[in-house]
Each structure stands twice: as C-alpha cells, then as structure tokens.
Amino acid sequence: MMKKGKLIIISAPSGCGKSTIINEIIKNHDLKLEFSISATTREPRRGEKNGVNYYFMSVDEFKNAISNDELIEYEEVYPGRYYGTPRSEIDRIRNKGRNVILDIDVMGGINVKRKFGDDALSIFIQPPSIDTLRQRLNSRGTDSPEAIDQRVEKAGFEIAQSDRFDKIVVNDRLDVAVRETEDLIKSFINK
C-alpha cells in the first residue's frame, strides 16, 4: 500500500515572510508538498481566489463547518475573523501519498502538532526582531496602521510560544531561510 503523506506545519507571526517561504519550497518537487487550503471568514484580498488561497465563507457557513466537525482546528486569529483547517484537505492530500503543507497561526500550529504527533513536523519562522517585523508590515502596505499595531503586539506573544515547535528558522535572509526549511523537511520526510 502507498505510504500516507506527512504534515508540515509552518507558523509565524504575521509579516515574517512565511507565505514567501512556503511559495518557494512548494516549487521543490522532490518534497512532494501540497498546500492545505484553509477556510476563513475574512474578505478576499485583491487577487485572491476562492478555492485557491482560501475557502472564503460567511460566519454562518463557518459555524456550520464547525458543528459538522469538518475542521480539525480553528482559531479566531483576529477579532471576528475565523480561520480553520478542513479535514477534507488533509485527507485528500495525504491519501495521494503527498505531504501536506499548512500555513496556519501559532496556536493552530501547536494544536495540529499535538493531534498528529510524529506524523507532523512543526516549524516556527521567526523574524530577526520586532522592529524588522514592523518595517516589513509597513512596506507590504496591505494593512492599516491599526492592523499593523495589532499584528506587532500579537507577534510578541507568539514569539514566546516558539519553543513549543519542533524547529525554529530565523528569517533574516530569505534564501537562507528557504534552504534551511527545505533541509528540515527533507530529513523529516526521509526519516
């Protein structure tokens, strides 16, 4: 029988380059990674597509998914904005023998690792400093000043959770962080 795929959890405070790192490592076909598409109640950003970046849902649809036990975890990542991992995504990808890559918040990452144990590798992407993080969020230009303050404050709490992850990668130089992350995944899936 074909071997079931494993789970690679990537968590980080917002603005640490997590999505960029994920987009890079997904291109490495040897790692057989496939992105787990989350459900969310937030509005799509420009260029985002339903069923590609997220499954965009109303709060009612999201609540239905929770009561039907369709999500393996969910968090209110920002006030009023829910994000969750559909069980169907994990099963669909693993049953093909491919490895699931999850871009989820820090508490979600800890919860998924607890659920899947040795089948999961949890990686925490850390910014070099809080100042660098604020600069990156500013230059990204997708968030209001209030939202940036909110994200920076949250980052302090999240960095304090980093020792609950299997591995930590500091994203100072992107190419180095990508290579480090790839190496960690490689040794985990070949174990």
Determine if 105 is a binding residue for ligand 5GP (CB under 6 A).
yes
> What x-and-dash track marks residues 29-58 binding ligand 5GP by CB under 6 A?
---------x---x----------------
Determine if 103 is a binding residue for ligand 5GP (CB under 6 A).
yes
The footprint of ligand 5GP on residues 11-30 (CB under 6 A) is 14
For ligand 5GP, the closer of residues 103 and 180 by Cβ is 103
Could you tell me the CA-to-CA distances from 160 to 8, 43, 105, 155, 181 in Å, in that order? 21, 29, 14, 9, 20
Determine if 158 is a binding residue for ligand 5GP (CB under 6 A).
no
CB 103 within 8 A of CB 22: yes
The residues near 38 (Cβ < 8 Å, ≥ 6 apart) are 54, 55, 83, 84, 85, 86, 89, 102, 103, 104
Binding site residues, ligand 5GP, CB under 6 A: 14, 38, 42, 73, 75, 77, 83-85, 103-105, 108
